[in-house]
Amino acid sequence: MAKKNGNDKSKSKSRVKNKRRVLSPAQQVRFEKRCTAVDAVSAGHTVEAVAKVLNVSTRVIFLWLERYRHGGYDALREGDRSGRKRKVNAEVMRWLYDAISRHDPRQYQFPFCLWTLAVVRTLLKRKFGIDLSKSGVSRLLGHLGFSSQRPIYRSYKRDPKKMKAYLQKTFPGLQEQARRIGAVIYFVDESAVRSDSHRGATWGFKGQTPEVEDSGDRFSLNLISAVSPRGDMKFQCFEGRMNGPRFVEFLKKLHADTGGPIIVIADNASYHRSGPVKSYMEQSEGQVVVEHLPAYYPDLNPDEQVWNHAKRRLGKLFLANKYEFKAALFSIMISIQRTRELVRSFFRLPGTRYAAEAC
């Protein structure tokens, strides 16, 4: 007879274990009820709704979730249970469930509004002295019916005729002008990168995209950047709001760094069309040209991806104060600047591919 391998022995032990736990019809019904509750919560239904449907208390649901977390479905059977000491019990799970479903991190003295694994991990350590790995936190949140999601974004009203005119006439004309005078085309955008930026993901009920309420309790940094199809990226931090003179200052630095004519394509902010900008263009004698995207089409601007990329990376970090926030943001921006292939990839998206051949 062939010798059993390790997997055969494991399966044999599992069958013997299950055989010792033969359930009566009543016990089987209770077991299936517990499995149904765990599956429903894991699928994203609220604990309150599941408890109401099954006619049990929410406390009981969390006890079942605790057993399942530490022993799988088999732990939901009636009988002797054993295993390692549990770090997270039903009460901790209930407290964490309420914290995430009813509050946001700012109400627990965090400067950010998104529930990230790092924030949840820090909160458990601070509140209960429980130290879980990020993967452990992820599994725990999954057992509670949460999933990682991006908050809702609101779209702008658009005019397809203006977009068509820009793509078929305005931009091809700028390309021809750039070839004629040897100019580099840059796309420019400004952004206030805030500590409560919604670009990251937060944890919420499965199938229910979370909405984050605005709050004045935050800190931010104002930046402006410019990207070219050949992979150049320039950026600058500035205090206060962007205006015409500040935009002109950035154009002067961009022109000097390029060492030749530049064509800058920006959105329709009023300061992009202001008197100081028009005056500077006249003084440059054709060396600096500023044109504009159609209104409400930010996806046509490859420079938008600088902020999307930076905010996604920033949203994954746990930053306790403004100094860490500023240092991390500058590190990310310099990393983007040094990675020309990453910048060129911003011109390969469906909305920006039209600009990839600009010279």
pLDDT for 3 equals: 45
- pTM value is 0.55
Q: Report pLDDT for 198.
A: 46
Q: Per this entry, what is the length of the chain? A: 359
Q: How far is CA 229 from the centre of its chain?
A: 25
Bridge partners of 149?
202
Q: 237-245 long-range contacts, Cβ below 8 Å, gap at least 24?
A: 237/330, 242/190, 242/269, 242/271, 243/271, 243/274, 244/271, 244/274, 244/275, 244/276, 244/277, 245/276
For position 339, what pLDDT does the model report? Answer: 96
Say how far residue 150 (Cα) sits from the centre of its chain: 6
If the chain, 359 residues long, is cut into consecutive pieces of 10 residues, what is the mean pLDDT of each piece?
Answer: 47 42 81 93 91 93 91 82 71 92 86 84 92 91 85 60 94 96 96 65 70 56 94 91 95 96 96 96 96 92 93 78 86 95 94 82
- Domains of the chain, start order: 24-149 (no CATH), 160-199+208-355 (3.30.420.10)
List strands edge to edge, sheet with 233-238. Answer: 233-238, 220-227, 184-194, 262-266, 288-292
Q: Give φ, ψ of 31 to 5 degrees.
A: -65, -45
Instruction: Kindly list the distances between the CA atom of residue 213 and the CA atoms of 90, 112, 274, in Å, as whole numbers in the listed order.
Output: 29, 12, 33
Q: What is the pLDDT of residue 82?
A: 55
Are residues 317 and 325 in contact, defined by beta-carbon separation less than 8 angstroms?
no
Q: What is the pLDDT of residue 154?
A: 43
The whole-number pLDDT of residue 137 equals 92
